Chains A and B, each alone.
Chain A
Amino acid sequence: MKLVSFHLMPYRPLDLAEAAKYRSPWVVLPNRLYDPVKGAEEYARHIDALVYAEELGFDAIGVNEHHQTAYGLMPAPNLIASALIQRTKRIKIAILGRALPLVNNPIYIAEEFAMLDNLSKGRIIAGFVRGIGSEYHSSGTNPYFSHERFHEAHDLIIRAWTEPGPFAFDGDHFSLHYVNLWPRPYQTPHPPVWIPSQGSSETVAWAAHPERKYPFLVTFSSGDLVARYHNGYRDQARQYGYEAAPDQLGWACPIYVAQTDELARKEAGRALETLFNDFLRQSFEMLMPPGYTSIGSMKNFIRNRTALGGGRLSAEALIDSGTALIGSPRTVLAGVERMRERTGFGILVALLQFGILSDDLTRRNMDFFAAEVMPHLKG
């Protein structure tokens, strides 16, 4: 199994009580609540934690892009990736991912990835995402054209990476006379592309297509939903006439390991709750701007959400639903193995720092995971 140590770089010093007075910690949370002195220290500590993953034997470090939010301080994840390249030697660096529809010229994303690929001599994994709903509010991008822009930007970037330039690109959203990348990517034909997603059926069908076979990462969902999305991808692959390989299926999950279940819950429970209740808190209108998904997917979302009920999610509920793996090495390992039996997935994207989890506990969690869980998954 491939193991990714993933990080969101939350702004932990956030005054949660003050933040709770606003619609959401996304888009509208006044940025006077960001203290640059504390924030700069956050960057330093988070990068230390990311770099440490190489020493522990992870296959990749994962970073990602979010805008105008205390949930994550990486509006430009490639800047972090660039810093990580300078402080690591062998480990892959997965940008999970860049939000393609939000830019007006995707060539810049192709260029940045190509630069990182050269800077790292081929250690880059390029994640492509659409950005979450809130990002259509913060960027002003029209969600109605999100899928169109994503597909067109993707095609442009892949062609820019693989076809001899200069050539012209004639899209509906992006129309360019000269596509001629300097530098070209280091890896041949191009860096691996991964697709993190919240599981929309449109994205699954596209990622699983035989021309692409892109690894599909399910983020922050209950165990049942992860299994449903993975197996949806498998079914789609079978319809295309092939069997999905383990390394086409990824699961991004908050994980915390300690000596006992009890201790793990005690140390990480509150932090887990802050991730889901404080940092991820967004209204339906923010998460699902019109056109971001099909009407059918949107109605499913409404139904699932109504079924969940309102109110705060407790650590217990998040653990019971399999949304997070928190416990002894045996418990966490059993959780991973159970999912492996259900879906045959082969990429575990472990979020080992989440919410307000401190540096000390993050480090202890990473050490424990590497010592007690990793050997069983690598074997």
Chain B
Amino acid sequence: MSEQVIELEVRDVTIKLHRAGSGPLVLFLHGAGGVPQWLPFFDLLAERYELLVPEHPGFGGSDDPSWIRSMPDLAMFYLDLLEEAKLDRVHVIGNSLGGWLAAEILIRDRSRFRSLVQLAPAGIRIKGVPGGDNFIWGPEEAVRNLYHDQSFADRILALTPSEPQMDLMLKNRFTVAKLGWQPRWFNPDLEKWLHRIKLPALIVWGEDDKIMPPAYGGLWRERLPDGRLVMIEECGHLPHVEKASLVARHVDDFLEGVVA
């Protein structure tokens, strides 16, 4: 499947947007790692949907405006983007930080959305159940702790990133710290508004997630008015990477139900 890369200007910010497929609109909001490569999961979705994968401001090939200082800022930026690009009837999928972002957007304005898929989202907290501290982990540890199946980590660790790739990783890491260092990976004012996300929602969690504890899946299901939870066996923090076809199937079934 060929993916198209376009630039989109919203206010004073130009972002990089990947696009593939046709059909109902699916917006994928990436996590802390950005979009360093096009994923098999994206190809699977693009078979039946028009898939948009933007790189958030501050990540990858997108601008890094200094006025975006928090997740709520980023959410408001996306509401501007949706309005300017006239995106409507959107199915949004978010992973980790991208799931947090999806929730921040939807509690503010869900009118342009039809459904939500959360893949191990950050954004809320259970007191006494801390997540993993991926800011203190070393480079190998950080990669290994993303996955249950270590062959995924082995393949990544065998690669030596080029200088431009290193630059992008640093850029992403800086933005992630800006948005998520304190309080770590959550907004204390998010959970109490999740009832406003009156949309069909699918929550997917790897049973062996070492970053966002699987217990958080239960809290999301409780707080979202119309959420169902699917736990994935032998899977870490990136279900769409580690179990791409299984997760794509779950998403497909879910979206089919919503669209029908």
Contacts and interface: CB of A to CB of B under 8 A. Distances in A.
A254 to B, nearest CB: 28
A142 B177 contact: yes
B182 A291 contact: no
A324 B170 CA distance: 33
Contacts of B167: 295
Interface residues of A, number: 21
B181 A285 contact: no
Nearest to B170: A295
Contacts of B170: 290, 295, 298-299
Nearest to B172: A290
Interface in A310-369: none
A295 B136 contact: no
A140 B133 CA distance: 11
Interface in A171-201: none
B89 interface: no
Contacts of B136: 23, 27-28, 137, 283, 285-286
A291 B184 contact: no
B195 interface: no
B182 A290 contact: no
Contacts of A136: 181
Contact of B177 (A23, A27, A289, A299): A289
Interface in B141-192: 166-167, 170-171, 173-174, 176-178, 181-184
B178 A140 contact: no
Interface residues of B, number: 18
Given A140-B182, A142-B182, A291 B174 contact: yes
A141 B182 contact: yes
A144 B137 contact: no
Contacts of B166: 299
Given A290-B170, A295-B167, A299-B170, A144 B135 contact: no
A290 B177 CA distance: 6
Given A140-B182, A290-B170, A295-B171, A283 B177 contact: no
Interface of A: 23, 27-28, 136-137, 140-145, 283-286, 289-291, 295, 298-299
Interface of B: 133, 135-138, 166-167, 170-171, 173-174, 176-178, 181-184
20 contacts: A27-B136, A136-B181, A137-B133, A137-B135, A140-B183, A141-B182, A142-B178, A143-B177, A144-B174, A283-B136, A285-B138, A289-B135, A289-B177, A290-B170, A290-B174, A290-B181, A291-B178, A295-B171, A295-B174, A298-B170
